[in-house]
Amino acid sequence: MKVRVFVTPKKGVLDPQGVVIETGLRQLGFAGADQVRVGKVIDLVVHTDDRDDASARVHAMCKTFLTNPVIEDYTFTLDEAP
């Protein structure tokens, strides 16, 4: 099962990459774009056909390894297509 995990900085946590991108966009003339936040997207394949099993495993991965739960939130999507 294909899994796509989104790891984003929690609301209120300073996001230097977002600030840099926002400044860069403005300097390049892209007006009217703001509230930029930068996170990670992690694509992986989990070898199971059971959505609940996959979901439980991805939650465990996220909580123990893929994210820093103090400063980051995560969500993920499961895609059963091969």
Contacts with a second copy, residue ranges (CB under 8 A): 6-8, 18, 21-22, 24-25, 28, 30, 32-48, 57, 60-61, 64-66
Nearer to a second copy, 27 or 70 (CB): 27
Closest separation in Å from C-beta 71 to a second copy: 16
The CA distance from 26 to 23, in Å, is 5
Closest separation in Å from C-beta 70 to a second copy: 19
The number of residues making up the chain comes to 82
* Contact residues for 80 (Cβ-Cβ < 8 A; gap 6+): 1, 2, 49, 51
